[in-house]
Amino acid sequence: MTKHSSTLRETIEEMIAMGELQPGQHLDETELATRFGVSRTPIRETLIQLESMGLVVIRPRRGAIVAELGPQQLVEMFEVMSELEATCGRLAARRMTPEEQHVLLAAHEACKAAVEAGEPDEYYYRNEAFHEAIYAGSHNSFLFEQTRGLYRRLRPYRRLQLRVRNRIGHSYSEHEGVVQAILAGDGDKAAELLRSHVMIQGQRFSDLMASLPQLTKSAA
């Protein structure tokens, strides 16, 4: 993969992850080629790469669309996400350096500022930095890449969750417990709290399902 094609893939991946390209939206190769000032060939190659990541579905004779996740797929992916994050937390509690703990605390404080400002989108970005600090603190590069990859796949849905009433306040409170467990070196507690923090079930699942039309309303 050339540097240019890698950049193109990352750019379109980011547009999908942040909802600029909506689930179910048709991806017109000519329009994308014009937008990025390239030929259709690198666009087609990029869409194939994104299909292999589960972000795009390429349909014979009908072109590509942004992948949509059904309720069962979402539950299954969040289930795996919760276990990956739990493992990251368990390892981070054992392996984080003092410098990495400072990074985690700074990310936690940035989340607090976003909560106090009542800014769910800002909180989303700070929340991502918070979780990545834990992934990095696991000191397991394979786990880091796998967890971050699934996080990116679920970004539109995790972002949507934060728009549910009072969710960012609850999320920050859950972060506080995670931070304290990691700083105390309690890997089992950190894992338990992260698993619960990420998993969607019960009311949280119902809230997410009710919010999904907001994510797809412009895709029609």
pLDDT digits (tens, 9 = 90+) for 57-98: 999 888 999 988 778 888 899 999 999 999 999 999 999 999
Evaluate whether residue 82 is within a structural domain: yes
Torsion sign, CA atoms 157, 163, 167, 169: positive
Bridge pairing between strands 26-27 and 63-66: antiparallel
The DSSP secondary structure of 143-183, one letter per residue, reads HHHHHHHHHHHTHHHHHHHTTSTTHHHHHHHHHHHHHHHHH
C-alpha to C-alpha distance for 80 and 53, rounded to whole angstroms: 16
Evaluate whether residue 15 is within a structural domain: yes
Which residue among 27, 49, 66 closes a domain?
66
* Residue pLDDT, tens place only, 177-189: 999 999 999 999 9
Residues 78 and 32 in one domain: no
Is pLDDT of 210 > 50?
yes
> Any idea what the CATH number is for the domain that residue 152 is in?
1.20.120.530
* Tokens 């990352």 found at: 10
Question: Containing domain of residue 104, as a range?
Answer: 71-214
Evaluate whether residue 219 is within a structural domain: no
Residues 49 and 140 in one domain: no
Number of structural domains, the chain? Answer: 2
Evaluate whether residue 164 is within a structural domain: yes
Residues 85 and 31 in one domain: no
C-alpha to C-alpha distance for 92 and 134, rounded to whole angstroms: 6
Closest CA to 94 of 178, 188, 198: 188
Q: What is residue 214's predicted lDDT score, i.e. its pLDDT?
A: 64
Q: What is residue 193's predicted lDDT score, i.e. its pLDDT?
A: 97
Is pLDDT of 174 > 70?
yes
Q: What is the end-to-end Cα distance of the chain in Å, rounded? A: 33
* Residue pLDDT, tens place only, 87-125: 999 999 999 999 999 999 999 999 999 999 988 888 988
* Mean per-residue pLDDT of the chain: 88
